[in-house]
Amino acid sequence: AIRITQSPSSLSASTGDRVTITCRASQGISSYLAWYQQKPGKAPKLLIYAASTLQSGVPSRFSGSGSGTDFTLTISCLQSEDFATYYCQQYYSYLPEFGQGTKVEIK
């Protein structure tokens, strides 16, 4: 199975900050990586797929980059509604695997 290591597990930031979350795959997965946002009591919401393609309706302050084994989600200017938990997910293999999550909290 392809393992995904996501870091950090949590971070504190202020509105307006630039935030970066990283995922590393245990083997190369090309660009078969997605990012999700989850708020308490809600289902995950797809933000980015194919490592860098923004899902329709997602604000442009979210961006993704990377290929192979190392990937990054960047929130360029953190807004109040962005405080949530973020997950990456690889879909290179027929067994999708999610990262452990990064909780973005208010500083």
Partner 1 sequence: QVQLQESGPGLVKPSQTLSLTCTVSGGSISSGGYYWSWIRQHPGKGLEWIGYIYYSGSTYYNPSLKSRVTISVDTSKNQFSLKLSSVTAADTAVYYCARARSEKDAFDIWGQGTMVTVSS
Binding site for partner 1 (CB under 8 A): 32, 34, 36, 42-46, 49-50, 55, 87, 89, 91-101
Q: Where are the beta strands (DSSP E) in 1-107?
A: 4-7, 10-13, 19-25, 33-38, 45-49, 53-54, 62-67, 70-75, 85-90, 97-98, 102-106
Q: Shortest gap between Cβ of 69 and partner 1 (angstroms)?
A: 17
Nearer to partner 1, 1 or 107 (CB): 1
Nearer to partner 1, 14 or 56 (CB): 56
Q: Shortest gap between Cβ of 20 and partner 1 (angstroms)?
A: 20
